[in-house]
C-alpha cells in the first residue's frame, strides 16, 4: 500500500492519485525526504509514456489483482493500452487496433464495457470508481463534480498532445512581394484603420508612402478605403470591367496612365472656330504620367477598342517587365468607355478618387507595396 503524503490515506500501489484527496502519489525519496504534492485534475502530459512503458516515477506495473484495474487514459493519436473500463490486461495478440483520429479508446467493432454493478464510470478516463471515492484512482478526476446535476466537467486547459494547433482568424493585410510570395502583415481592427509610414513597420521603409496615406474603414468582411490626400495615391486591383471617366488614372505594371476624352471643338462665344488638324475619329487619349505636373507620351484612341501590352496591341511598353504581353483593353461602347484586364499576371489597378469599396482578399496598392486584405 502507498500512503498519501497529504491526507495519510492508504492507497493500492498501482494507483497514481489518492482516493481521498486527489493528490498525486509518489514514492518517497531515500532517507525520508518529504516530496511536495500538487492536486491535479489529470496527469501531467510530460509524464505520458508509450504504450507498454511504465510512467515516470511510477515504478513497475503490478500483476493483475482480483479487483478491476483501471488503465491509463490513452494519449490523442496513440493506440490505447487496453479497453476502457478496467479489467485485467488482455494478451498482446488480442489488443484492439488503434483508435481512429478524434475517437481515443475505440476501435472498429469494439463496444466499451458498462461499469460494474455499484461502480461509477469516470468521465475523464473511463475507469470504474467505487461510489464512496471522491477521486478517480487512475487519473485523479474529482467524481463529486461529475455527479453534481448543476455542473459539467471542465474542458481540458489546452488541445491534446499531437493535435494540430488552431489559430484564431484575425483581420489583417498581408504584403505581397514582387515575386508573388507573402511578406509581413499588418493587423487591422473593426472600424477605422490609419495606413501610412507612421503606422507600422511594414510601411515605414516605403518612401512613396505619405506619413498618413490612407484610411481603411472595416465593417465585417466589407470595407471602404479612403485616400487621405496622399502624394502618390491609392490603387485597387480590378476584378471586373470598369467604366472610365475622363481624368481617371490607371496603372499597369510600372506605368501610370491618365485617360482623357477628346471632345469635339466648340466655337467660341463670338462664333470663331479653333483651328487644328482634321480629327480622323479620335475619341480619347492615354497620357503617361512621369511626375507631379509632368507628363510624357500621349496615345490617341481610335476605333472601337485599343489594347495595351508589352509585346502586342496598339500601345506597347516593351521596357516594363511587369506588363504582360497582352495586358488590358480600353473599349468604346454606346458612347461610354470601359477598361478590361485581359488576364494579366500582375493585374490592372484603378486609382481611388475619394473612397472605394473593397472586400475580403481585395488587393490594394500603397506606394510601391501591394497588400492583400484578410477580412474574413
The x, y and z cell numbers of residue 5, run together, are 503524503
- C-alpha grid cell for residue 73? 487514459
Q: Using CB atoms within 10 A of its CB, is residue 294 exposed (0-12), middle (13-18) or buried (19+)? A: exposed
pLDDT of residue 143: 75
Q: How far is CA 285 from the centre of its chain?
A: 44
The contacts of residue 25 (CB under 8 Å, 6+ apart) are 2, 4, 11, 15, 16, 17, 18
3-class DSSP assignment, residue 258:
strand
- CA distances (Å), 265 to each of 262, 272, 298, in order? 9, 11, 19
Residue of 159, 211, 145 whose CA lies nearest to 366: 211
Residues 6+ apart with CB under 8 A from 93: none
User: What is the model's pLDDT at position 124?
Assistant: 72
Helix (H) or strand (E) holding 143: helix 143-147
In the chain the first and final C-alpha atoms are separated, in Å, by 58
Residue the block writes with cell 511536495: 36
- Cα–Cα distance between 362 and 373 in angstroms, integer? 5
For residues 284 and 330, the answer to whether their CB atoms sit within 8 Å is yes
Model pTM? 0.55
**DSSP assignment string, 36-88:** ---B-SS--GGG---TTSPPTTS-PPPPP-SS--PPPPPPTTS--SS-TT--S
Q: Is 78 exposed, middle or buried (0-12, 13-18, 19+ CB in 10 A)?
A: middle
Q: Is 256 helix (H, G, I), strand (E, B) or coil?
A: strand
Residue numbers of the chain with a pLDDT score lower than 50: 31-111, 148-153, 155-156, 166-168
Q: By the 8 A CB rule, do 70 and 127 touch? A: yes
C-alpha distances in Å from residue 243, one per residue of 124, 238, 312, 339:
64, 11, 23, 6
Strand order, beta sheet including 284-291: 182-187, 172-176, 369-374, 363-366, 234-237, 348-351, 249-252, 255-261, 284-291, 294-301
225: helix, strand or coil: strand
pLDDT score, position 265: 80
Q: Note the pLDDT of residue 91.
A: 47
Q: Would the CA dihedral through 10, 13, 18, 20 be positive or negative? A: negative
In this prediction, residue 57 carries a pLDDT of: 38
234, 331 in Cβ contact below 8 A?
Answer: no
Amino acid at each position: 500500500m502507498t500512503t498519501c503524503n497529504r491526507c495519510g490515506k492508504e492507497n493500492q500501489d498501482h494507483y497514481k492519485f489518492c482516493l481521498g484527496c486527489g493528490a498525486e502519489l509518489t514514492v518517497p525519496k531515500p532517507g525520508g525526504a518529504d516530496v511536495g504534492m500538487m492536486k491535479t485534475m489529470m496527469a501531467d502530459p510530460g509524464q505520458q509514456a508509450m504504450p507498454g512503458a511504465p510512467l515516470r516515477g511510477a515504478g513497475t506495473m503490478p500483476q493483475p489483482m482480483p479487483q478491476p484495474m483501471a488503465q491509463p487514459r490513452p494519449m490523442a493519436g496513440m493506440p490505447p493500452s487496453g479497453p476502457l473500463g478496467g479489467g485485467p490486461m488482455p494478451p498482446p495478440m488480442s489488443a484492439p487496433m488503434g483508435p481512429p483520429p478524434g475517437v481515443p479508446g475505440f476501435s472498429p467493432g469494439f463496444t466499451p464495457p458498462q461499469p460494474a454493478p455499484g461502480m461509477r464510470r469516470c468521465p475523464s478516463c473511463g475507469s470504474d470508481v467505487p461510489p464512496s471515492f471522491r477521486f478517480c484512482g487512475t487519473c485523479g478526476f474529482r467524481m463529486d463534480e461529475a455527479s453534481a446535476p448543476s455542473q459539467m466537467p471542465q474542458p481540458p486547459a489546452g488541445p491534446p498532445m499531437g493535435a494540430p494547433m488552431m489559430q484564431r482568424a484575425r483581420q489583417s493585410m498581408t504584403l505581397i512581394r514582387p515575386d508573388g510570395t507573402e511578406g509581413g502583415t499588418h493587423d487591422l481592427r473593426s472600424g477605422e484603420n490609419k495606413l501610412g509610414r507612421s503606422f507600422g513597420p511594414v510601411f515605414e521603409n516605403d518612401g512613396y508612402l505619405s506619413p498618413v496615406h490612407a484610411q481603411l474603414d472595416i465593417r465585417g468582411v466589407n470595407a471602404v478605403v479612403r485616400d487621405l490626400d496622399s502624394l502618390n495615391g491609392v490603387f485597387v486591383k480590378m476584378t471586373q470591367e470598369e467604366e472610365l471617366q475622363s481624368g481617371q488614372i490607371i496603372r499597369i505594371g510600372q506605368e501610370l496612365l491618365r485617360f482623357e476624352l477628346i471632345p469635339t471643338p466648340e466655337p467660341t462665344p463670338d462664333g470663331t472656330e479653333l483651328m487644328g488638324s482634321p480629327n480622323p475619329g479620335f475619341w480619347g487619349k492615354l497620357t503617361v504620367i512621369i511626375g507631379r505636373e509632368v507628363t510624357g507620351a500621349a496615345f490617341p484612341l481610335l476605333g472601337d477598342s485599343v489594347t495595351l501590352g508589352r509585346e502586342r496591341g496598339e500601345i506597347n511598353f516593351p521596357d516594363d517587365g511587369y506588363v504582360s504581353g497582352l495586358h488590358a483593353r480600353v473599349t468604346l461602347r454606346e458612347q461610354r468607355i470601359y477598361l478590361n484586364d485581359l488576364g494579366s499576371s500582375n493585374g490592372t489597378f484603378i486609382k481611388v478618387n475619394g473612397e472605394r469599396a473593397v472586400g475580403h482578399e481585395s488587393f490594394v496598392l500603397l506606394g510601391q507595396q501591394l497588400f492583400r486584405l484578410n477580412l474574413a
